[in-house]
Chain A
C-alpha cells in the first residue's frame, strides 16, 4: 500500500516560479561570448593567424593561457575569434529561418483556409527531406564556399521547422476569446497579428529560437569538422577541432579548449531555452 501511495501523481511542478541562478549564469556566459565575438579585434589578443614558431604545441601558460597549436598560433585567441563563425552562422541562419518561417506560420494559422492548407502541405513535404543531407549536398556543389552561402543554405533549410512550430503556437492562440473580441471591435488584421498574436507566441518563439541557434551552431560545427565550412586559416570551433585531429595525442589542449567552448555555449543556449519554456508554461504546444 505504501508503495502505491509512493507513486501517486502530483509530480513535476507544472510551472517553474523562478528562473533560478543557473539561468542567469548561462545568460552571463552567453553575453560574454557575444561580446567577445564582437570585440575580438579590440581585445588584447594575439593575432589568431600569427604563427610563432618558437612556441609550438605548448600547454597553457601565462603567455598563452590556452597554449599554442602546431603552428605556434595562440589557442585562446583562435577560440575567441572562432566564436565569430559560430555566432554568425547561428544568428544569421535563424534570422533567415524566422524571417521567412514566422510570418508564413502566423499568417497561415490566422487566415486558415486554402493558404494554410497549401503552405502546410508544402512544408510537410519539405520536412520529410533529410535536411542535413540537403545542406551538405548544396554546400558541396555551390562552390566556392563562403560564410554567407552557408548561412543562407542552413537558414532556408530551417524554414519548414520554424513554420511548423510558429503555426501550431499561433493556432493555439488564434482561437482565444481576446482575439475574437479584437475582431469584433473591428481591429485590422495587421493589428491583430502584431498586437494580439505576436506578444502571445513570443515566449514560444524565443525559446525555440535559442534551441534553434544551438542546433544550427552544432550543424556548422559538424560541417566545419568535415571541412565543409569556412576555409582555414580562418578559425572556427569546428575546424579547430578538425585540424587538431592529427596532433591530438601530443597536444590534447588543442582539442579540449575549442570543444569546451562549443559545449558550454550549446549547454547555455539549451538551458536558457528549456528554462524559458517551463517558465512560460508552454508545454501545450509541442516544440
Chain B
C-alpha cells in the first residue's frame, strides 16, 4: 500500500513538473516578442521592466523557467497588465465558485444515478432498464453547451432569470438562497453529463456483479433484496464508479467553463474565457497552470480513494 502511494506520488510530481513546463512555454507560443504582445505596442518602459523581471525574458530560456517557477512557488503568478490586479488574487476569488458548482452537480448526479442504476440492473432488459438506457444514450449525445442553452431557453427566460452578469453574483456565505438559485441551472447541466456516465458505468458493473457466485450465495441464505443490493453488490461495483468520477473531473471543468460563460458566473471558467478575449495572457497562463494541477491532484486523490476501497488495485 505504502509503496503504491509512493510510486503514484513520484508520478504525480513528474506530471506536475511537465504541466509547469507546458504552462511556462505557452508565453513563447505567442507570435513575436512576448513582452510586446502581452503589454501591447504602447507599453511604458517601466511596465516592460517589470514584466522582464517577472518572466526573466532577457535570460536564456532554461533560466527563464527557473525565474518563473521560483515566482510561482512563492505564490506570485504575475500581475495582469489589463486589470492591474495580481493573477493569484483573481484566481483565489474565482475558484470557490468552480468547487461549489462541481460539488452541487456531483451530489445531484450521484443521487440520481445510483438508485436508478441499481433499479435498472435488477431487471436488465426490463421496461425501466430499456427506457433508462435509451434515455441515457440520447443524453450522451447532447453536449453541455446545448443542455444549458435549452434550459435557459425553456426555464429562465420564462422565469426572467437570464444572464445577470458576473457583478450580480452572490456568494453562498452572503446569501445562500440567491446563490443556489443562480447555480441551479448550471449544476443541473453539469449533473446531466455526469449522470449519464455514472448511470451507464454502474448499471453494467452491477449487472456483472449480480451474476457472481457470492450473490447467488447471499440469495440462497435468504438475505433481503435490499441487503443484497447495497451490501453485497453495490460495494464491489462502487469501485468502478469512483474510478469514473475521478476521470470525469476534467470534463466537468470544461462543462463548467461553458455554463459560466453563458450565465456570467464569475468562476475560473468565466475568468479564463474573458482573459482570452481580452488577451490577458498572464491571467490565462495562471489559470491554466492552477486548473491543470488541480485536476491532476483530484485524480490522484480519487486513485488513492479507489485503492482504499479496493486494496487489490495497490497490489498490482
Contacts and interface: CB of A to CB of B under 8 A. Distances in A.
A43 B19 CA distance: 47
B145 A130 contact: no
A133 B258 contact: no
Nearest to B303: A128
Contacts of A245: 149, 163, 262
A221 B145 contact: yes
Interface in A224-280: 225-228, 238, 241, 245, 248-249, 252, 255, 259, 262-263, 266-267, 269-271, 274
Interface in B261-285: 261-262, 272-273, 276-277, 281, 284-285
Interface stretch (B52-60, B96-104, B167-175, B288-296): B288-296
Nearest to A13: B125
Contacts of B219: 4, 7
Interface string B152-184: 110001000011000000000000000000000
Task: Tell me the interface secondary structure of chain A in the complex.
Answer: helix
A11 interface: yes
B254 interface: yes
A142 B37 CA distance: 12
B191 to A, nearest CB: 17
Contacts of B142: 263, 266
A141 B143 contact: no
Given A7-B123, A140-B284, A133 B253 contact: yes
A284 interface: no
A129 B250 CA distance: 9
Question: Chain B interface residue count: which class?
Answer: 35 or more
B149 A255 contact: yes
B107 interface: no
Interface string A128-142: 111111101110111
Contacts of B31: 143
Contact of B292 (A129, A218, A225, A249): A129
Contacts of B41: none
A241 B146 contact: yes
B225 interface: yes
Contact of B284 (A12, A141, A214, A226): A141
A133 B292 contact: yes
B236 to A, nearest CB: 16
Contacts of B141: 214, 263, 266-267, 269-270
A3 interface: yes
B15 A141 contact: no
Given A7-B122, A140-B284, A222-B254, A133 B291 contact: yes
Task: Tell me the interface secondary structure of chain B in the complex.
Answer: helix
Most A-side CB within 10 Å, residue of B149, B163, B281: B149
A227 B124 CA distance: 43
B143 A218 contact: yes
A133 B124 contact: no
Contacts of A271: 137
12 contacts: A12-B207, A129-B296, A133-B253, A221-B143, A222-B143, A226-B273, A228-B273, A241-B145, A245-B149, A245-B262, A270-B137, A270-B141
Nearest to A224: B145
A158 to B, nearest CB: 14
Contact of B29 (A4, A134, A142, A274): A142
A167 to B, nearest CB: 18
A11 B125 contact: yes
Contacts of A218: 143
Contacts of A221: 143, 145-146
Given A11-B125, A125-B18, A129-B292, A141 B258 contact: no
B292 A130 contact: yes
Nearest to B251: A132
Contacts of A132: 250-251, 253-254
B254 A141 contact: no
A137 B273 CA distance: 10
Nearest to A214: B141
Contact of B143 (A129, A130, A262): A262
A258 B223 CA distance: 53
A133 B137 contact: no
B138 A12 contact: no
A128 B296 contact: yes
Given A141-B27, A255-B153, 16 more contacts: A11-B207, A12-B125, A125-B14, A128-B296, A130-B295, A133-B250, A140-B284, A142-B29, A222-B145, A238-B145, A245-B163, A248-B153, A249-B162, A259-B149, A263-B146, A266-B142
Interface string B116-137: 0000001111000000000001
A245 B253 CA distance: 21
Contacts of B157: 248-249
A271 B140 CA distance: 10
Contact of A227 (B122, B254, B273, B288): B273
A133 B153 contact: no
Nearest to A250: B157
Contacts of A113: none
A259 B291 contact: no
B30 interface: yes
A7 B118 CA distance: 13
B299 interface: yes
Given A226-B257, A226-B261, A137 B26 contact: yes
